[in-house]
């Protein structure tokens, strides 16, 4: 874990000492401190009574409570993406999305940098492609008692930029991509009955990925490149009897990973592809702010998160030049998200996840017509990742079915594409969650568009 940020000035010094602003803790009196302990579910029902004691007790309670709730909040940083498959974002280009992301063995445009970087070896000349993926999703929770809670409507999205070049049809090609392999964006009402497990989890994760590809044989290409990553986390959890009693954490970090790919085209009708992304690490460095009963406390905090490796294997079959069918199997090593480490001035703590590795199964087809028109359709299925015992509503983890269709049009050196995608998660019944707070039925529904434009130079 990297060290906490240094700082200067009275405000910074006060925060590093864990002083509150506008409350008795600002005295910094050591008699107002007491050792932190791990949270218990029973604490949730006693916080309002405990906090109504003397100012000194309130100060130490606030610091202790901050540590307790940060331990729970830590479970949100690896929580739900806006996209329903833990925090992976598999949708990185309009053509691939239209084909149900079954694109690893095809990878015939610059988005190959994400789907299979070896594919850029088979592209001609210099190419640029930009794509956008806005999504609107809704997750519903029906509690055992009948209460229904729905996520707040919020249009989210990611964008991608890709550039590739194959000089003089040589054996080497290179490219660079800017995309979002992970993402997070779930927002529940502040008064949700399970708000103690979290109400907001947002992760902005941006990757700059240069790659180099080599084609030692006319039918074989291999590629690899580093991944320079930037992440920003914004998390919120309710910690008291009032929805206004909240704890917020924000932090940023840079990380490194690597990508690689292989493509083999032994026959005009058959193509095989393998794509790999290495595991990574992030230590979000920022501040945690607690507001409870009119008191407010800010402290430096870090959150160390392991990121999973994933492997995609694909086969493309072209019975005629006009048709392209593909099937992919995509595996993500979610077992690496076993524990995470939360760093606070009072010491570090580990949070258990026990996530399970899972698969996505992807199927796609494209029909090309004379005149530059192409139509694609696809489907993919993603397995559940989070066990009931570790389930948090901030993680819309369900068995996910995703359907898509799109149209592409080539006009001279330009190519335009538009895609619609529907995501549906049938009811998942959760039992045995922490304190029973997340027990109930969860359903997932999303609508997304993907728009892309590309040019060959």
Give yes or no for a contact between 442 and 427, defined as CB atoms under 8 angstroms apart: yes
For residue 181, what pLDDT band results from cuts at 50, 70 and 90? very high
Confidence (pLDDT) at 82: 46
3-state secondary structure 46-92: CHHHHCCCCHHHHHHHHHHHHHHHHHHHHHHCCCCCCCCECEECCCC
For residue 454, what pLDDT band results from cuts at 50, 70 and 90? very high
Confidence (pLDDT) at 376: 98
3 state DSSP class of 415: strand
Residue 184 or 272, more confident: 272
Contacts of 85 (CB under 8 A, 6+ apart): 332, 358, 360, 382, 385, 400
Rounded percentage of the chain residues whose pLDDT exceeds 90: 53
Confidence (pLDDT) at 24: 33
**What is the arithmetic mean of pLDDT over 121-127?**
95
Neighbours of 261 (CB within 10 A): 29
- pLDDT > 50? residue 22: no
Confidence (pLDDT) at 60: 52
Confidence (pLDDT) at 402: 97
Give yes or no for a contact between 297 and 20, defined as CB atoms under 8 angstroms apart: yes
Q: What is the pLDDT of residues 286-319, one digit of tens each?
A: 988 887 777 888 888 888 888 999 999 999 999 9
Q: What is the pLDDT of residues 375-392, one digit of tens each?
A: 999 999 999 988 988 888
The whole-angstrom separation of Cα 327 and Cα 67 is 47
- pLDDT > 60? residue 404: yes
The tokens 């700082």 sit on which residue?
7
Q: What is the pLDDT of residues 64-118, one digit of tens each?
A: 545 554 544 444 433 334 455 778 899 999 999 999 999 999 999 999 999 999 9
**What is the arithmetic mean of pLDDT over 173-177?**
98
Structure tokens at 418: 């538009």
Structure tokens at 424: 């549906």
Where do the structural domains in the chain lie, given as residue ranges? 22-456
Query: For the whole model, what pTM was predicted?
Result: 0.80
**What is the arithmetic mean of pLDDT over 169-191?**
89
Q: How far is CA 390 from CA 70, 139, 412, in A?
A: 16, 18, 53
The whole-angstrom separation of Cα 185 and Cα 308 is 19
Residue 299 or 341, more confident: 299
Nearest to 274 by CA among 88, 101, 95, 118: 118
- pLDDT > 60? residue 23: no
For the ranges 211-220, 243-252, 401-410, the lowest mean pLDDT is seen at 243-252
The whole-angstrom separation of Cα 412 and Cα 416 is 11
- 13-17, 312-316, 347-351 — which one is most confidently predicted on average? 312-316
Confidence (pLDDT) at 397: 86
The whole-angstrom separation of Cα 413 and Cα 260 is 29
The tokens 């100060």 sit on which residue?
59
Q: How far is CA 224 from CA 23, 104, 124, 177, 380, in A?
A: 54, 15, 19, 13, 26
Neighbours of 245 (CB within 10 A): 23
Give yes or no for a contact between 368 and 410, defined as CB atoms under 8 angstroms apart: no
- pLDDT > 70? residue 325: yes
Looking at every residue in the chain, the average pLDDT score rounds to 82
Neighbours of 72 (CB within 10 A): 20
Looking at the domain that runs over 22-456, which CATH code has it been given?
Answer: 2.40.160.60
- What's the CA angle centered on 386, arms 383 and 390, to 5 degrees? 165
- What's the CA angle centered on 344, arms 340 and 348, to 5 degrees? 50
- pLDDT > 50? residue 46: no
Confidence (pLDDT) at 434: 83
Identify the H or E element spanning 114. Answer: helix 112-115
Confidence (pLDDT) at 349: 64
**What is the arithmetic mean of pLDDT over 198-212?**
90
Structure tokens at 51: 């906090």
């Amino acid at each position: 874990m990297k060290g906490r940020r240094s700082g200067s000035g009275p405000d910074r010094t006060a925060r590093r000492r864990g002083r509150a602003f506008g409350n008795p803790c600002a005295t910094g009196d050591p008699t107002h401190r007491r050792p932190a302990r791990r949270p218990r579910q029973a604490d949730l029902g006693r916080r309002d009574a405990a906090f109504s004691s003397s100012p000194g007790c309130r100060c130490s309670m606030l610091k202790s409570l901050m540590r307790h709730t940060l331990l729970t909040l830590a479970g949100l940083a690896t929580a739900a993406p806006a996209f329903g498959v833990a925090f992976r974002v598999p949708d990185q280009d309009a053509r691939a999305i239209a084909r149900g992301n079954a694109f690893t063995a095809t990878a015939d445009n610059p988005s190959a940098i994400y789907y299979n970087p070896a594919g850029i070896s088979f592209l001609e000349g210099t190419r640029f492609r930009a794509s956008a993926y806005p999504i609107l999703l809704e997750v519903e929770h029906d509690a055992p008692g009948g209460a229904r809670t729905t996520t707040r409507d919020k249009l989210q999205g990611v964008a991608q930029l890709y550039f590739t070049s194959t000089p003089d049809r040589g054996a080497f090609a290179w490219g660079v991509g800017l995309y979002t392999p992970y993402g997070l964006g779930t927002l529940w009402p502040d008064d949700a009955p399970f708000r103690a497990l979290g109400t907001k989890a947002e992760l902005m994760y941006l990757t700059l990925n240069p790659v180099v590809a080599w084609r030692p044989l006319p039918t074989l290409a291999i590629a690899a490149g580093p991944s320079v990553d930037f992440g920003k986390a914004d998390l919120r959890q309710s910690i008291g009897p009032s929805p206004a009693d909240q704890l917020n954490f924000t932090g940023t970090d840079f990380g490194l990973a690597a990508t690689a790919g292989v493509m083999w085209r032994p026959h005009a009708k058959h193509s095989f592809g393998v794509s790999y992304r290495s595991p990574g690490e992030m230590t979000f460095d920022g501040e945690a702010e607690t507001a409870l009963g009119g008191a407010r406390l800010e402290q430096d905090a870090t959150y160390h998160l392991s990121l999973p490796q994933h492997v995609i294997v694909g086969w493309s079959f072209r019975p005629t030049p006009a048709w392209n069918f593909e099937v992919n199997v995509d595996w993500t090593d979610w077992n690496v998200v076993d524990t995470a480490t939360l760093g606070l001035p009072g010491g570090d703590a580990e949070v258990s996840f026990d996530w399970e590795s899972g698969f996505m199964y992807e199927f796609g087809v494209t029909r090309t017509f004379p005149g530059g028109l192409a139509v694609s359709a696809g489907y993919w299925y993603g397995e559940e990742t989070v066990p009931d015992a570790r389930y948090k509503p901030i993680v819309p983890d369900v068995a996910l079915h995703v359907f898509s269709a799109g149209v592409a049009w080539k006009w001279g050196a330009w190519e335009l594409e538009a895609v619609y995608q529907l995501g549906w998660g049938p009811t998942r019944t959760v039992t045995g969650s922490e304190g029973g707070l997340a027990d109930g039925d969860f359903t997932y529904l999303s609508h997304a568009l993907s728009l892309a434009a590309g040019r060959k130079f």
